[in-house]
């Protein structure tokens, strides 16, 4: 039998041992999480199952991590993982009534696109798709850019997506993968897909989830193993993921022939920095994943601010004087500027036809007749829709 003091000593030793075990387990769990994140393995956390926002709603993904791991949300709203490699045909399922699906292959390498291009024979521009797969599919199919199986049939034509692919809609990942696929396929025919980075891409690259649907915040937390929404979303669009790596190469502004394509616009204040279009792209791209730096360097702060190319609305709202608009065109040796970002009822022009706004509120269904894009062919401009109509653009 133990004496009174012996019992106390025994209890004290047992408590110390239990504490050591708990500390070791906690330390091991933290190290394991860090190791899994670094290696790209997913951590499916059930920590917040009672949270109403913790929902998976409809087919989503795949999210490709470190070129080897595919994580998707099935149509049954559960998470599934599989290994992938270069050369595999990877299924993408769309969350819509038609249950559309297509396949993609991973890129073997990435290159930074040029800033300036010669004008092609035919060019289609649209913007602000914001996860609306049905509108995108309808526009591309009705205008012979893709076939019904999501393959590029636009030959040596160019397709410009003028920003805001991400946010609001329920098929963000599927829209990104479709453009990824077409970006890849178009090169085989001397065509080109130009993906311009808009403010909503920047928001997500910087972990700002204010316009995300809850399912994207939730899946980001589950895949990353991170509880903080900002950090989880940053991980989802980091170079660790295939889509993050792809988006990280894209430009903020491009010039094709005499046309400048930029999501928000170019302000007269930009000229004070005397930046070339290429320099704008280089500086902005170097900070896609460094949101804190936006407040340190004055040039970076400007480019990511309200008068920078992602957010500026002065052209769309016609607040910029014509003489300043002329100065911008002259400085960049261009004829016209095409933007999205500011919603209009129909594709419209300004500044005597030298400014074009293509941000329309696209229809939610395929072939609704309410989704529009701009067609430029033989230096003539047309409004095209998702049922095959083509109308000359009015000035």
Instruction: State residue 54's pLDDT score.
Output: 57
Residues 355 and 336: beta-carbon distance below 8 Å: yes
Percentage of the chain lying above the pLDDT 70 cut: 85
Query: Which one is predicted more confidently, 38 or 256?
Result: 256
Say how many CA atoms lie within 13 Å of 283 toward its Cβ: 20
| Alpha-carbon dihedral angle through residues 216, 248, 89, 178, given to the nearest 10 degrees | 70
For residue 107, is pLDDT > 70?
Answer: yes
Segment 46-101, tens digit of pLDDT: 443 333 455 788 999 999 999 999 999 999 999 999 999 999 999 999 999 999 99
For residue 355, is pLDDT > 70?
Answer: yes
From the list 268, 270, 264, the residue with the least C-alpha distance to 343 is: 264
For residue 205, is pLDDT > 80?
Answer: yes
Q: CA distances (Å), 217 to each of 57, 146, 169, in order? A: 12, 31, 13
Segment 210-229, tens digit of pLDDT: 999 999 999 999 999 999 99
When the candidates are 3.60.21.10, 3.90.1720.10, 1.10.760.10, 3.10.350.10, the CATH number that belongs to 116-392 is 3.60.21.10
Instruction: State residue 52's pLDDT score.
Output: 41
Mean pLDDT to the nearest integer, 149-155: 98
Instruction: State residue 290's pLDDT score.
Output: 85
Mean pLDDT to the nearest integer, 291-298: 69
Residues in a beta bridge with 179? none
Residues in a beta bridge with 80? 72
Instruction: State residue 392's pLDDT score.
Output: 97
Mean pLDDT to the nearest integer, 188-197: 98
Return the axis-axis angle of helices 172-186 and 133-142, rounded to nearest 10°.
30
For residue 30, is pLDDT > 90?
Answer: no
From the list 385, 136, 375, the residue with the least C-alpha distance to 259 is: 375
From the list 122, 126, 144, the residue with the least C-alpha distance to 136 is: 126
Instruction: State residue 296's pLDDT score.
Output: 77
């Amino acid at each position: 039998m133990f004496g009174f003091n012996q019992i106390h000593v025994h209890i004290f030793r047992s408590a110390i041992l239990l504490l050591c075990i708990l500390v070791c387990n906690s330390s091991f769990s933290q190290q394991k999480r860090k190791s899994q994140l670094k290696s790209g393995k997913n951590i499916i956390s059930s920590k917040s199952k009672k949270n109403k926002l913790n929902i998976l709603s409809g087919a989503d993904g795949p999210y490709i991590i470190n070129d080897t791991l595919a994580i998707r949300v099935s149509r049954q709203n559960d998470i599934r993982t599989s290994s992938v490699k270069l050369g595999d045909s990877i299924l993408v399922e769309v969350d819509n009534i038609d249950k559309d699906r297509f396949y993609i292959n991973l890129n073997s390498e990435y290159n930074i696109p040029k800033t300036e291009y010669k004008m092609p024979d035919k060019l289609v521009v649209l913007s602000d798709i914001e996860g609306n797969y049905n509108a995108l599919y309808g526009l591309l199919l009705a205008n012979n850019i893709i076939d019904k199986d999501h393959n590029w049939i636009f030959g040596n034509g160019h397709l410009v997506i003028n920003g805001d692919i991400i946010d609001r809609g329920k098929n963000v990942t599927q829209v990104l993968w479709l453009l990824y696929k077409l970006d890849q396929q178009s090169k085989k025919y001397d065509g080109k897909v130009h993906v311009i980075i808009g403010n909503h891409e920047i928001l997500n690259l910087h972990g700002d989830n204010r316009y995300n649907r809850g399912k994207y915040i939730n899946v980001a937390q589950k895949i990353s193993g991170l509880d903080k929404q900002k950090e989880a979303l940053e991980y989802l669009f980091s170079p660790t993921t295939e889509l993050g790596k792809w988006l990280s190469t894209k430009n903020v502004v491009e010039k094709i022939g005499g046309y400048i394509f930029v999501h928000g616009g170019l302000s007269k204040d930009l000229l004070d920095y005397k930046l070339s279009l290429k320099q704008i792209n280089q500086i902005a791209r170097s900070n896609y994943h460094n949101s804190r730096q936006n407040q340190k360097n004055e040039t970076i702060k400007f480019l990511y601010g309200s008068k920078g190319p992602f957010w500026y609305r002065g052209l769309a709202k016609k607040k910029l004087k014509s003489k300043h608009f002329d100065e911008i065109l002259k400085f960049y040796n261009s004829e016209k500027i095409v933007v999205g970002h500011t919603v209009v009822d129909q594709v419209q022009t300004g500044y005597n036809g030298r400014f074009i706004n293509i941000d329309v509120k696209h229809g939610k269904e395929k072939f609704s007749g309410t989704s529009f894009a701009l067609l430029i062919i033989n230096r003539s401009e047309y409004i095209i829709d998702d049922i095959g109509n083509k109308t000359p653009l009015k000035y």
